[in-house]
A and B are shown apart, each in its own frame.
Chain A
Amino acid sequence: MTDTAVDLIWLAPALALLGFVLNGTLAFARPNAKTIVSGIGAGVLLASFVVAIVVFRAFAGLHPEEAIVFRYWSWIPVGTLQVDFALQVDQLSLIMLLVVTGVGSLIHLFSIGYMKKDPGYARYFAYLNLFVFFMLVLVLGASFPVMFVGWEGVGLCSYLLIGFWFTEKTNADAGRKAFIMNRIGDFGFMVAMFMIFRDTGSLDFETVFVHAPTALVPAGGAVTAITLFLFLGCTGKSAQIPLYTWLPDAMAGPTPVSALIHAATMVTAGVYLVARCNVLFAMAPVSSAMVAGVGALTALFAASIALKQWDIKRVLAYSTISQLGYMFLGVGTGAMAAGIFHLTTHAFFKALLFLGSGSVIYAMHHVYHATHSHEDAQDMRNMGGLARYMPWTTALMWVATLAIAGVPPLSGFFSKDEILAAAFARGTANPVWFLFWLFGLAAALLTAFYMTRLMLYTFHGPNRTGEKEREHLHEAPWIMTGPLVVLGALSLAGGVINLPELVSGNAWLHHWLEPVTRAGAALLPETHLSHTAEWVLVAVAVVIAALGIVGAWRLLKPEALATARQAPEERGFARILRNKWYVDEIYDALIVRPLVWLSTEVLWKRVDQRAIDSAAVNGAARGARALGWANRWLQTGQVGVYVAIFVVGVLLIIWRAVG
C-alpha cells in the first residue's frame, strides 16, 4: 500500500470488468437498451481513463525507482512456484495504461455511432469492455502468468470481435485463424515461462529480472532460448513474420475493433513484452538481433503488400504490421523508449486512420444500404473523391497519413526517426543493423507511398460510387467525428512527449521509462552518434518520406481507376503483391492441408480406425471368434473325428509323459 491514489489501480481493470458483466447481462436481458449499454460501455472506459490519470499523477508524484506491486490474492501457490494475482504499477505499465484507456475511450465513443444499428450492440460493448479488462491485466500484470491471462484474454476478445458478425463464414474463419495463430505464439510464451521458472525459480517480473543477470549466462543458450520463445509469442500477438497472416483477415471485424485491438493496443502487446523483458533481451544479443531483424523485415515485407491492396482496411492492416515491425526494430535494437514511443504515436495515428476509414466505410455502407447495392463498401476502387463529401474525415486522415509517413513535425516523424537512428547507431557496433536500418528506410519509403495511394484513391480524383449512390454520401455523425478530432490532435502533436535532445527536447518519455529500461540498457553496448550524423539521418528520413508522397502523387492516376467490379486482374509482380506474396496459400499448402490430411487420412482413418481399432482390437476379437467358428470344421457331429482327435490327444500326452 502506498496510501496514495496509486492504490486505486485495481479500479481500472475492475471497471472494465464491471462493464463487461453489466453489458453481458444486458446482452441477454435487454439487447435493445442501447442507451444504457453505451452509457455503461463508454462510461466505464472513461472512468478507467480517469483512474489512469489519477494513478499516473500520484505515481509521478512518488518518483519511485522501482515498480509498485499490489498482490491481491495468491493464485497458483505450489511449492516454489508462487504466483499471486498481482498488479504492477511502474512507468512502462502506466504509459500503456494511459494509451489503452485513452485511445480505448475514444474508440468506445466512436463505436456508439458506428454500431448504432447493429442488433448485437450490447454484445459488442460487452466484448469491448472485456477486451479492455484483459488488456489492462496484460499491461498491469506483475508476473508472467498474470500477464498471460491478459495475453490470452485479449486474444479471446479479438477472436470474439473478429467473428462478431459470425453468420458470415469468412468472419468466423478469420476469428478462428486469429486465435489459432495467436495460440502458436502463446505456445512460445508458455515454453518461455517454463524455462524462466526453471532457471530463475520464479515468474514474478521483479524477481526474474533481478535474478536473471546472475542466474542466466549472458548470451548463453538458456537466455537466448527464453527470449526467442518469448519473441515467438510476440510474433503471434503482434503479427510479425511468420505469424502475421491473421491480422489482415482480422479486418473482418467491426472497424472500431480494428482500430482498438488490431492497431492501437493488443497487437502492440508484443512490443510491450519485449520492453518489459528488456533485461532478458539485452542479455541475448542473438535474440535481439532476431527481434530487430524480423521487425525490419516485416516492416518492409508488409509495406510491400500494402502497395497493391484495394481494401481500405487491408491497406491499413498491412500498414499496422509494417509499423509493428518498426517497433520491434526499435526494441530489438535496445531502444526501448523509442519502441514505446512509436507504439504510442502509432496508437494515435493508426487509430485515427482506422476510425477515419471506419467513417468512410460507414458512409459507404449507408450509401449502399440506401440504394440496396451489393458493392464492396471497403474497396477503394469504389470510392474516390470523397473529400468533397467528408471534409473532416479527409483532413484528419491526411494528418494521420503525414504522421505515419514520417513528415516532421508530426508525431510519427519523431518516433520513427528515433528508431531508425537507434538502429543506425547500433550498426556502428554491429554492422548487421545497417541492413535493418536500410530495410526500415525502404519501408518508410513504401509507407509514404502506399498511404498517399490510399488517400489519393479514397478521397481524391473522381468519385466512383455511382450516380445514384453519390447523393447519399455525407459525413459521419459527431459522436464519430469527435474522437477523430481528438486523435488528429494527438497525431499531430504526440511527438512532444519525447522530443529528442537534437531539437532541444527533453526526451521526457525516455527519461520517464528509465527506471524500467535501465537494467537492460546497462547490458547493451554503448553506442553514440554525433549530432552531424543524426542530422544527416533526419534529412534522409525526411527526403524518403517526401519521395514516397510525391512519388505516389505523381505516379498514380486515380482518374484511370476502374471500379472493383470492372477492374482487370493485375499482372506480373503486382499480382504477387496483390496476392500478398501467396503466403496464405503457401501456409495452407505446406501446413494446414498436410495436417488435416494427416489427421484425417493417416491418424484417424488409418492408425485409429484401421490399425488400432480394426486390425488390433476388433481383429483380435474377430480372430478369436473366427477360431471359435473354425471349430465347426472339427465339431461336425462325426464321432470318427472326435475319436481321432481323442487319440491324437492321447499320443501327445503319452509323449509329454514319457518324454
Chain B
Amino acid sequence: MTLDLSVYSELLLALLPELVLTGWSLVLLTFVAWRHKTERDLRIAGWLTLAGLASTAVAVYWLWWNQTGIEGLAIMVAADDFRWVADWVFLGAAALTVLISFFYLARERLLVPEYYVLLLFATLGAMIMAAGTDLMVVFLGLELLSVAVYVLAGLDRRRARSAEAALKYFLLGAFASGFLLYGIALVYGATATTNFTLIGTQVGISGPSPMLLIGLALLIVGFGFKVAAVPFHMWAPDVYDGAPTPVTAFMATTVKAAAFAALFRLLITAFSSVAAWHDIVWWLAVVTMVGGNLFALGQRSFKRMLAYSSVAHAGYLLVAVTAGGSEGTGAFLVYAVAYTLMSLGAFAVLSAKGRSGESDVLIDDFAGLGSKRPWLAFAMSVCMLSLLGFPGTAGFIGKWYILIAATNADQNVLATILVLTSVVSAGYYLPVIMAMYMKPEPIEAAHVDVVFDRWARLAVTTVVVALLLFGVWPNRLFQLARTAGASIQPTNTTTT
C-alpha cells in the first residue's frame, strides 16, 4: 500500500496508529475525569490503557502487514518498517510498564489515574518521534514525550525526592531543548528546510557549512541529553533515582529508544553525507560507555546503578549509531528490544523489592533473595546477565549485532572499547547476582515484604521468556530488524 500524503485521507491512514492512540487517550482522559477516586478506577484506567496500546499495536501491524509505503517525498512522517518496529518497541515497553504499575500505584497509594493518560501521551510522543521526517515533528514529539515524562517523574509529589527529580529533569530537559531548538534553527538556516530528505539533498549539494555543522552539533547535544549520553547524562541518575520506579523503567526504555530512533532517522537520511557527526558520535559513544560503566561501578544503590547502566547502554547504542547504515539500524533495533526487555525486567523486580521510590534499595539488600524468592531472583539474574551481554540472553545477541555492525563499518577500536567496558560492567552486574545467591539475608524477614501481583509477574515472566527466547532463537527478530534497518536509506544526493 502506497500512500500519497498530500491526500488527507491517505495522510490519516499513515497516521492511523497515532490517531488510534490519541483517541484512546482522549477516551481515557474522559474516563479519568469521571472516575478517579478508588483503586478500582485506577485499575480500570490501566486496562483501558492496555487496550489502547493493544489496538494501536494492531493498527501498526495492519499498516505493516500491508507494506505501507509513501509515494514521493515523506513530508512530516514516514511509513516504513523502521517506524513500525520502533512503534512496537514503544508500545511493548509501555504495556509492560502498565503491567508493573498496577500493584505499584496501589502499594504506593498513588491513586492518580492521569498517570495512564500521561503514559499514553508519552508513548504517543515517542511514536511521533520515530515517525517524524521533519525536525518540526520530531521536536514536537520530543516535547510531548518530555512534558508527559516530566510530570510522571514528579508524580509522587508527596515525596520530596520525586518532586526534586521532576524539577531537575524539567530544568535540564528544557535547557537541552533550547540547544536542540537552536540546532534546528541553524540547520534550517543552512538548508532552508526542516524536512530530513530535503536537508539531505541540500547538504549533498552545498556541502557542510559552519552553520550546518554547529546546528548538527547542537542537534546531537539535544538528543544526547535525551538518551543520557555522557557528558549530558548527569540528570539521569538523580532523576531515575527520584522518579517512581515504573516511570524510571519507562524513561530508561521508551524515552531512550525514541530519542535513538529519531536520531537514527535524522542522521542517516539527512546527514549521511556529513562526515563530522561520525567523529562526534564516536567520541560520545566512547565517553558514554566508559563513563557509564565506571560510574555504575561506584554505586551501591541498585536504582542508581541501573541508571548509570542505562547510560552505559546508551553508549552501546551510540556505537550502533556510529556504525550507521542498515546494519547499525538493525543492530539498534535488536538491541533496543533486548535492552527494553532487560531493563524493564530489572526495574520491575526492583519495584517489588522496594518502598517509597526504591531509592534506598542497595545492591546488598538483595542478599538472600535467591533462597527466599527463587523465581524473582532468577528473573533478576537473567536480566543482569542479559544486561551484561551474556550468551543465551537477548542482551548477548544485541551486543553481538552491534559489534558486527561496528566491525562492518571498520570501527574495530570502538568495538574493542565496547567489549572492554562490558568487562567493567561485570563488576556491578555480578554483585547483584552475588548478593542474591551468595550472601545470606541480613535478617530473617528481609524479604517478606517483597510483593508482586500477578500482572507484574506476567510482565516479568514475559521479559524473562523473551530474553531467553531471543537469546537462543533470534532469527525472527533479526528478520524484522534487518528489513526495518534497510528501510531507512541515506538520501541519494546524486539524483537531485
**Which residues of A pack against B, CB within 8 Å?**
621, 624-632, 634-635, 637, 639, 641-643, 645-646, 648-650, 653-654, 656-659
Contact A657 B216 (CB under 8 A): yes
> Of B128-136, B231-239, B336-344, B392-400, which binds chain A?
B231-239
B53 CB within 8 Å of chain A: no
In the complex the two chains form, what is the Cα distance from A634 to B218 in whole Å? 23
- Nearest B residue (CB) for A630: B298
Contact B172 A625 (CB under 8 A): no
Contact A646 B427 (CB under 8 A): no
Contact B168 A646 (CB under 8 A): no
**Which residues of B pack against A, CB within 8 Å?**
168, 171-172, 175-176, 179, 210, 213-214, 216-218, 220-221, 224-225, 230-232, 234-235, 237-238, 276-277, 279-280, 283-284, 291, 294-299, 424, 427
Contact A637 B217 (CB under 8 A): no
Knowing A639-B172, A650-B218, A657-B217, the reply to whether A645 touches B234 (Cβ < 8 A) is: yes
In addition to A642-B172, A649-B224, A653-B221, 18 A-B residue pairs with Cβ atoms within 8 Å of each other are: A624-B427, A628-B295, A628-B298, A628-B299, A639-B171, A639-B172, A642-B235, A643-B172, A645-B231, A646-B175, A646-B225, A646-B231, A646-B234, A650-B217, A650-B218, A650-B221, A656-B276, A657-B277
- Nearest A residue (CB) for B424: A624
Partner of B280, one of A629, A632, A641, A656: A656
Partner of A648, one of B213, B231, B277, B279: B231
User: In whole Å, how far is A100's beta carbon from the nearest beta carbon of chain B?
Assistant: 60
Contact A653 B217 (CB under 8 A): yes
- 9 A-B pairs (CB sep. < 8 Å): A625-B297, A629-B298, A635-B238, A639-B172, A649-B224, A649-B231, A650-B217, A653-B220, A657-B214
User: In whole Å, how far is B169's beta carbon from the nearest beta carbon of chain A?
Assistant: 10
Q: Which residues of B contact A630 (CB under 8 A)?
A: 298
Q: Which residues of B contact A624 (CB under 8 A)?
A: 294, 297, 424, 427
Closest 7 interchain pairs by CB? A628-B298, A628-B297, A657-B217, A649-B231, A642-B234, A629-B298, A657-B213
- Nearest A residue (CB) for B295: A631
Knowing A624-B297, A628-B295, the reply to whether A646 touches B214 (Cβ < 8 A) is: no
Q: Which residues of A contact B295 (CB under 8 A)?
A: 627-628, 631, 635
- Nearest A residue (CB) for B421: A624
Q: Which residues of B contact A621 (CB under 8 A)?
A: 427
Q: Which residues of A contact B172 (CB under 8 A)?
A: 639, 642-643, 646
Q: Which residues of B contact A627 (CB under 8 A)?
A: 294-295, 297-298
Partner of B218, one of A637, A641, A654: A654
In the complex the two chains form, what is the Cα distance from A373 to B238 in whole Å? 84
Q: Which residues of A contact B175 (CB under 8 A)?
A: 643, 646
Contact A656 B283 (CB under 8 A): yes
User: In whole Å, how far is B308's beta carbon from the nearest beta carbon of chain A?
Assistant: 8
- Nearest B residue (CB) for A629: B298
Q: Which residues of B contact A658 (CB under 8 A)?
A: 210, 213-214, 217
User: In whole Å, how far is B225's beta carbon from the nearest beta carbon of chain A?
Assistant: 7
User: In whole Å, how far is A612's beta carbon from the nearest beta carbon of chain B?
Assistant: 18
From A626, A641, A642, A657, residue with most partner B Cβ within 10 Å: A657
In the complex the two chains form, what is the Cα distance from A626 to B218 in whole Å? 32
Q: Which residues of B contact A628 (CB under 8 A)?
A: 294-299
Contact A634 B427 (CB under 8 A): no
User: In whole Å, how far is A644's beta carbon from the nearest beta carbon of chain B?
Assistant: 10
Q: Which residues of A contact B279 (CB under 8 A)?
A: 656
Contact A646 B232 (CB under 8 A): yes
- Nearest B residue (CB) for A654: B217
In the complex the two chains form, what is the Cα distance from A642 to B230 in whole Å? 11
Q: Which residues of B contact A632 (CB under 8 A)?
A: 298
Q: Which residues of B contact A656 (CB under 8 A)?
A: 217, 276, 279-280, 283
User: In whole Å, how far is A626's beta carbon from the nearest beta carbon of chain B?
Assistant: 8
In the complex the two chains form, what is the Cα distance from A11 to B168 in whole Å? 93
Q: Which residues of B contact A659 (CB under 8 A)?
A: 276
User: In whole Å, how far is A522's beta carbon from the nearest beta carbon of chain B?
Assistant: 68
Q: Which residues of B contact A648 (CB under 8 A)?
A: 231
In the complex the two chains form, what is the Cα distance from A649 to B291 in whole Å? 13
In the complex the two chains form, what is the Cα distance from A629 to B298 in whole Å? 5
Q: Which residues of B contact A629 (CB under 8 A)?
A: 298
Contact B234 A641 (CB under 8 A): yes
Knowing A637-B238, A650-B221, A658-B213, the reply to whether A631 touches B298 (Cβ < 8 A) is: yes
Q: Which residues of A contact B230 (CB under 8 A)?
A: 649
Contact A625 B427 (CB under 8 A): yes
Contact A653 B176 (CB under 8 A): no
User: In whole Å, how far is A392's beta carbon from the nearest beta carbon of chain B?
Assistant: 74
Partner of A635, one of B217, B234, B276: B234
